[in-house]
Chain A
Amino acid sequence: MTDATFPVSSAPAAKSSLLVVDARTRKRNAAEARFRAYGLGAILISVALLVILMFTIFRDGTGAFRQTYLEIPVTLDAAQLDKVGNRDPEDLKKVLTTSYGKILENSLQQAITSNGINVEGLSGPDVANLISKEASAQLRNRVLANPDLVGQTVDARVLTNGRVDGYYKGRVTMETAARDSNTSPAQLQLADALKEKGLIATEWNWSFLTMPDASDQRPEAAGVGIAILGSLYMMLVVLVLAVPIGVAASIYLEEFAPKNRLTDIIEVNISNLAAVPSIVFGILGLAAFINVAGLPQSAPIVGGLVLTLMTLPTIIIATRAALKAVPPSIRDAALGVGASKMQSVFHHVLPLAMPGILTGTIIGLAQALGETAPLLLIGMVAFVRNFPGAPPEGLMDPASALPVQVYNWTQRADPAFFERASGAIIVLLVFLLCMNLFAIFLRRKFERRW
C-alpha cells in the first residue's frame, strides 16, 4: 500500500477542462499561429522577390531581341561610289561612309515618293535621321565585301534610328518624342506611314547576339558578340587552369597531406580566400598581372587568371567534399590487393568522385561567369569594336565580358541602352541556367549513395 503524499482537497479545483480552451492556451496557440505565419511570410516574400526580379529583367530585356528595320531598295550609284570605274576594292575603300549615308538618304526619299507618302512638316535631314547612323557603315561593308554590287539596285535591310525602334517597343511615345531633340512626332508619323506600306518591320534580332558594342549615339546597333566571345575565352582559361590545379590541390590535401603546420596553413588560407571580396582579387590582378607582369589591359587572359584564383577555393572545397564521400573501404580494398597509395587514389577514388567534382566545377564556373567587379579593375570596361583573334594568341587581344558589358551599358545616357543591358542579362542568365541544369543532370545521373 502506498502512502498518500498529496492531500486530497475537498474543494473542487479551478474549473479547467480539456474541452474548453482557457485564456493562456489561446494565447499560446495564437503565438504559435503567428510564428508560423512569419515563417511562411518570409518564404513567400523571398519567392515573390525572385519572381519580381525575373519579371522586371524579362520585361525590360526582351525588347533587345527584336529590332526595327527599314526594308527599301537601294540604288548603289556607281558615279558616287566608284569614280574611277574599275570596281577595284582599293579604290572603293577610299569612299567614306558619308557617301553611303547620302545614298541611303536618296533611296529612302525615293521610296517615300514612290509610295505616295506625305512628308509635310519634315525637313530632309529629319527624314534621313530615320535611318541609323550605323546603317551606312554596314552598307559600306557589304559593298566592300562584294564590289560587283556597285551600280545595281539591291534590297537592303537598314537599321532604323533607336527612337523609331523604341517607338515600336513602347519605350518612346508621341509625348516623349515632342520633348526629344533626337526625334519628333512628325518623324514617328512618317515611320507609321512606312510601316503601313510594309517598309518598316520589327523582326527577331540575331545581330544582338553577334554584333560588337556600338558608340553612344547608336544603341540600335549594339550587340553582345564580343562580350560573349570574351566571356567564353575567360571560361576557357579558368577551365584549363582552375580545374587541374584545384583537383590536384584537393587530392593532396584530402589524401596525402600529413597533419602538420603547413597543411593547416593551407587549409585556413583556402577557407579564407573563399570569403575574400571579389574586388580584392581585381586589385591583385591589376597589381600583379598588369603592373608587374606587364600583360595587356582588357585581355581575356588577365580576366581568366583573376577568375581562376577566385574560383580555385570553390573548386577545392567541392572536390574535397566529393573525395570525402568515397568510402574508405574502396581505398582499403585497393591497398589490400597491392596498389600503391597513388594508384589507389588515381585508379579508384578519383573516378568515383568524378561526378561530384564535375558538379562543383560547373558551379564554380557559373560563379566566375557572372563576376563583374574584378574585371572592372583590369580594364575590361574599355570600348572594344574589333573581335579578338582565335586562341591562344587571341587571349591577349582586348575583349569585353557579358557582365561588364551590362555595367558598361548602364553608364550610357540613352535609355535604349538599358534595354540592351537587360537583354545581355537574359543572355547571361540563359548561360547560367544551362550550366546549372547540366550540373543537376550530372548529379542525378551519377550520384551514388554508399
Chain B
Amino acid sequence: MPVTWTLLLVLALAVAGYFIGRSRVLSAAGGDSRRLHSRTSYYGWNVALFTAVPALFLIGIWSIAKPASGTVLAVVALIMAAVGMGFNLMRTTPDFRARNAVETFVRYLLILCSMIAIATTAGIVFSMVFETSNFFKQYSWTEFFFGSTWSPRFGGGSQLGILPLVWGTLYISFIALAVSIPIGLFAAIYMSEYASPRLRSFAKPAIEVLAGIPTIVYGLFALVTVGPMLRDYFAQPLGLGSSGSSVMTAGLVMGIMLIPFVSSLSDDIINAVPQSMRDGALGLGSTPSETVRKVVLPAALPGIVGAILLAASRAIGETMIVVLGAGAAAQMSMNPFEAMTTITVKIVSQLTGDTDFAAPETLVAFALGITLFVVTLGLNIVALYVVRKYREQYE
C-alpha cells in the first residue's frame, strides 16, 4: 500500500477522532458545555493529536529508513493511530482536563522542533568525524595537515596535503576582503552620515539586491565576463599568465558579493553609535569627516571587526564562485593571475561523480569539510562575541 494512502487514512482517522471526541464529551455532559472542564474543542483536539502525531512520526521515519514494506507500515501506523484514538476516547469524560493535556502535548512538540537545531549540528559533526577518522586510518594526519602537494590519484599513491588548498583559500579571501571592506565600509559611512533620504532610499535597496543574488550567478559572471576580461587586458599584456580562471577573478567577484554583507552590517553598527557622541564632536568644531574618523569609527571599531570576521568566514566557505572562477590547479604561487584552488572546490570535486567511500581520495573531502567547519565556526564565535560585547556598551 503506498505511503500516501496510509497518510490520508491516518489523517481521516484524526479528523473523525476530533468530531467523535467532541460529541462524546458533549453528550456525556448532557449537551451543556458549562459542565465541562475545558472548552469542547479541546476534547476533540486531544483525541486528534494523540491519533495523528505518533503515527505521522512513524510514517516520516519509516519512509526515510524503510525497514520493511509499505503494507507493514500501513498496519503498524493504523494500529498506532487506533490505540491513541481509543485510549484518549476512553479518558474523555467531562472531568478530564483536556486543555492541560493538549497544551502539554503541544509544548513537547515545540521543544522537539527546537531540538532540531542541535540535532543538525550533531549530525554535521558526527557525519564528518566518522568519515574523517576512517580517512586518518588510511592516511597520516601529519601529511594531510603539513603536506604541500595535492595530487589525488584513484588507484593509490596520492598525496593529499592541505597546504596548497589553504593557501588558495586565504589568497582569494584576502583579495575579496580587500575589495569589499573599503567599498562596503565607505558605502555604509556615506549612507548613514551623508546621504540624502532620496539617495538612501534608492541606493540601499540596490546594494541589498546584490546580497539577494545567488552565488551561482556571480560564478557565471566570473567565468564568462570577469575572467576573460582580466586575462585579455591584464594577465596577457603583463605576461603574468594566460588563464581565464584565476585567484584575481574569483577574489574580485567574491568581493562584489561581500560588499552588501559588509555594508549592511557596518551600517547597523554605525547607526548604533549614539547621536550625542556625534553632536559633541561637531559642537567642538570638527568637520563631519573628522567626526566619523576620530569619534564614530573608533566607537564602532569592535563591531566593524566583528563584521569583517563574519565576511571572512563567508569568503572562506564560499563555493560556487571559486568552483567556476578560480580553477582546479592546486599550487602555491604569489601570482594572482594564476589558477589556484580552494578547500571548497576540492570538496566538490572529490565528492561528485563516481565516488568510492572506502578510498582515501573520497574520504579526504570529509577531512577538508571538518577543517572548513571548525575554521568558520571559530571565526563566527569570535565575531558574534565581539559584536555582542560591543552592543552591550551602548544599549
Contacts and interface: CB of A to CB of B under 8 A. Distances in A.
Instruction: Note whether A and B form a binding pair.
Output: yes
B113 A279 contact: no
B191 interface: yes
B369 interface: yes
A293 B66 CA distance: 8
Nearest to A274: B380
Interface stretch (A203-211, A217-225, A265-273): A265-273
A307 interface: no
Contact of A278 (B114, B187, B263, B317): B317
Interface in B307-344: 310, 313-314, 316-320, 323-324, 344
Nearest to A289: B64
A313 B4 contact: no
A272 B384 CA distance: 9
Interface string A36-75: 1011111101110110110011001000000000000000
Contact of A275 (B127, B313, B347): B313
Contacts of B319: 277-279, 372-373
Contacts of A370: 213-217
B123 to A, nearest CB: 5
Contacts of B214: 369-372, 403, 428, 432
Contact of B220 (A32, A248, A425): A425
Interface size class of B (residues with CB under 8 A): 35 or more
Contacts of A280: 124, 128, 317, 369, 372-373
Contacts of B320: 372-373, 403, 407
Contacts of B199: 43
Interface stretch (A77-85, A89-97, A172-180, A250-258): A250-258
Contacts of B121: 269, 272-273
Interface in B283-300: 287-290, 292-293
B216 A403 contact: yes
B194 interface: yes
Contacts of B380: 271-272, 275
A256 B110 contact: yes
Q: Considering residues A35, A47, A52, A381, which has the most beta carbons from chain B within 10 angstroms of its beta carbon?
A: A35
Contacts of B140: none
B324 A46 contact: no
Contacts of B183: 42, 45-46
A376 interface: yes
Contacts of A316: 117
B3 interface: yes
Nearest to A57: B217
B317 to A, nearest CB: 3
A31 interface: yes
Contacts of A246: 113
B49 to A, nearest CB: 13
B116 A249 contact: yes
Interface residues of A, number: 89
Contacts of A277: 313-314, 316-319, 344, 372-373, 376
Contacts of B113: 244-246, 248-249, 252
B390 to A, nearest CB: 16
Contacts of A34: 289
B34 interface: no
A40 B203 CA distance: 10
A284 interface: yes
Given A249-B110, A276-B373, A53 B256 contact: yes
Contact of A392 (B3, B203, B351): B3
Contact of A340 (B103, B109, B369): B103
B351 A32 contact: no
B157 interface: no
A342 B106 contact: yes
Nearest to B348: A376
Contacts of A36: 190, 194, 289
Interface string A274-298: 0111111111101111011111000
Interface of B: 2-4, 64-66, 99, 103, 106-107, 109-111, 113-118, 120-121, 123-124, 127-128, 130-131, 182-187, 189-191, 193-195, 199, 203, 206-207, 209-210, 212-221, 223-225, 256, 259-260, 263, 287-290, 292-293, 310, 313-314, 316-320, 323-324, 344, 347-348, 351-352, 357, 365-366, 369, 372-373, 376-377, 380-381, 384
17 contacts: A31-B287, A32-B287, A35-B292, A42-B186, A43-B186, A43-B203, A45-B183, A53-B210, A253-B114, A271-B380, A272-B381, A276-B376, A277-B316, A279-B348, A294-B65, A295-B64, A377-B347
